[in-house]
Structure 1
Amino acid sequence: MTASSFRALHHDRAPGDPLVLPGPWDAGSARVFADAGFPALATPSAGVAASLGYEDGATPPAEMFAAVARIVRAVSVPVSADVEDGYGLAPGELVERLLEAGAVGCNLEDSEGHATLKDPQRHADWLAEVRAAAGDALVINARVDTFLFGSGDPADAIARAKLYVAAGADCVYPLLAPTEVLPTLREGITGPLNMAAGPSPDSVAELARRGATRITFGPGMQRYAMGAVSDLAANLRA
């Protein structure tokens, strides 16, 4: 599936029917989700990092792109890749490496060092360069970290989102936005809106009801799986 087909999955969706994208952390988990019938997948950087033995944000770029490539090779559905803040790569190189890995989309955050929000206009200008380099070959999901590192004011998140959409982002992702502010964000943001769910049907249903267009899970699925492995190990040692 091409980026244009993946992009189309974000649009003309019925109310309460968001695009649900499981978060594979390796080839095996990707196959499980694809075999379950999901139309596309979205890798979580923290989940991939954990699978490779790194803390969140500490994965060397080469290892992250290699992990994404393995996931892409394992499935026939499109894969969007969380590549954090772009690893300091120039927009052209970032796009080249994503396309070489086989990704048809990317998640790009507006904070750096996992601690500080970027200037929104500077980030929007950078996103515009990524869009120019990618053309239509990548679906850009612009993460908004206002609720993670900023004021937590929905108005600030909406202002950032508008800049990023104007710069060419296909979708915006206000990470850790409280569920109750989702209707406010939905009203103020044009286009697809990504929200993070917990790995449960109830969490997905609640976000769908409140207006999410696209739902991802961050590292939640990898952590859920490792919790099951931990329980198994404990039982075997009992």
Structure 2
Amino acid sequence: MTAISNAFLKLHIKGQPLVMPNPWDLGSTRILEQMGFRALATTSAGFAFTLGRRDAEGGITRDEAIAHARQIAEATDLPVNGDTENGFGPTPDDCAETARQSVAAGLAGFSIEDATGDHSDPIFEFDLSVERVRAAVEAGRDAGGIVMTARAENFLYGKRDLDDTIRRLNAFADAGADVLYAPGLRDIETVRTVIRSVDRPVNILASPGLTAPELADAGAARISLGSAFAINAWRGLVNAAEEVLDQGSFGFAAGKPGFMDINKMMKGR
């Protein structure tokens, strides 16, 4: 495993979760690094929105995602985990190629989802899902080593089948995944059940119904923010624009941090 990947994996401690935010451009990368986070991750949604595209509907290609992740990784000394969606294709070979390119981009980690991208049939069949993870793990190892996160997407797609989710996560661990992730868990008891049922570090997606201390007590090893910060930034833009259009006022411009604060956090040429 590369030095940056090894350092990244060591940050995953059960009960002492790594809080990992997701910048969407170089400016947000710079700010989050300055604020003291210990690792970063890309966000497919945040990146897609900067391009004026929707997420997860063919929003970005593998080449675009890897180039973006490389740019983020080169802009910071922190480990960067790539949001590489479902590996950008249905086959194990697609996932293997994504793994190889993630290593070549200098990423500390990457992830593979078991979501198909087809809302009529959203989750890959069990055996194929496991083979996709195994192919990604082996390709990443052969390319020099990288932290591989395997994602069971049931809960994000309305399939609230906890038994199947745990079965998949355990199979992904057996296939060599370093970190396990079931996004969409909304209550702490379900989180506890998942963490108790597996023997790998577990990443939990931040949710308004959960807190970092609760997740630490449940045994989480990583907490990711997903697209939350990016959405909050876009929300701020929409709210400010609505104030201008609807009220003709500019009160939003008095908020903190201001221009000078943010400007100081950026690099010079």
TM-score (ref. length: structure 2): 0.80
1:117 aligned counterpart, secondary structure: coil
The aligned counterpart of 2:179 is 171
Residue type at the aligned position of 2:85: E
Q: Is the alpha carbon distance of 1:199 and 1:24 closer, same or farther for their aligned partners in structure 2, counting shifts above 3 Å?
A: farther
Q: Does 1:100 align with 2:104?
A: yes
Q: Does 1:46 align with 2:54?
A: no
Q: CA deviation at 1:167?
A: 0.4
% identical aligned pairs = 32
Aligned equivalents of 1:203 and 1:23: distance in 2?
A: 18
The aligned counterpart of 1:193 is 202
1:132 aligned counterpart, secondary structure: helix
Structure 1 segment 148-227 matched on structure 2, within 5 A: 148-149=156-157, 151-179=159-187, 180-198=189-207, 203-227=211-235
Residue type at the aligned position of 1:55: R
Question: After TM superposition, which residue ranges in structure 1, 4 or more long, deviate above 4 angstroms?
Answer: none
In structure 1, stretches of 5+ residues that fail to align are none
Q: Does 1:124 align with 2:123?
A: no
Aligned equivalents of 1:60 and 1:125: distance in 2?
A: 22
The aligned counterpart of 1:6 is 8
Aligned equivalents of 2:35 and 2:27: distance in 1?
A: 13
Residues 95 and 133 of structure 1 are in contact (CA less than 8 Å); yes or no, is this contact kept in structure 2?
Answer: yes
Residue type at the aligned position of 2:9: R
The structure having more radius of gyration, on CA atoms, is 2
CA displacement 1:169-216 (0-9 Å, x = unmatched): 11111110232311111111111111111489x733332233321100
Q: Is the alpha carbon distance of 1:229 and 1:205 closer, same or farther for their aligned partners in structure 2, counting shifts above 3 Å?
A: farther
1:2 aligned counterpart, secondary structure: helix
Residue type at the aligned position of 2:4: T
2:223 aligned counterpart, secondary structure: strand
Residues 170 and 191 of structure 1 are in contact (CA less than 8 Å); yes or no, is this contact kept in structure 2?
Answer: yes
The aligned counterpart of 1:30 is 29
Residue type at the aligned position of 1:222: A
1:4 aligned counterpart, secondary structure: helix
TM-score (ref. length: structure 1): 0.90
Aligned equivalents of 1:23 and 1:75: distance in 2?
A: 13
Identify which of 110, 128, 152 aligns with 2:114: 110
Q: Is the alpha carbon distance of 1:165 and 1:150 closer, same or farther for their aligned partners in structure 2, counting shifts above 3 Å?
A: farther
Q: CA RMSD in A?
A: 2.0
Structure 1 segment 50-61 matched on structure 2, within 5 A: 50-57=49-56, 58-61=59-62
2:177 aligned counterpart, secondary structure: coil
The aligned counterpart of 1:87 is 88
The aligned counterpart of 2:150 is 142
1:83 aligned counterpart, secondary structure: coil
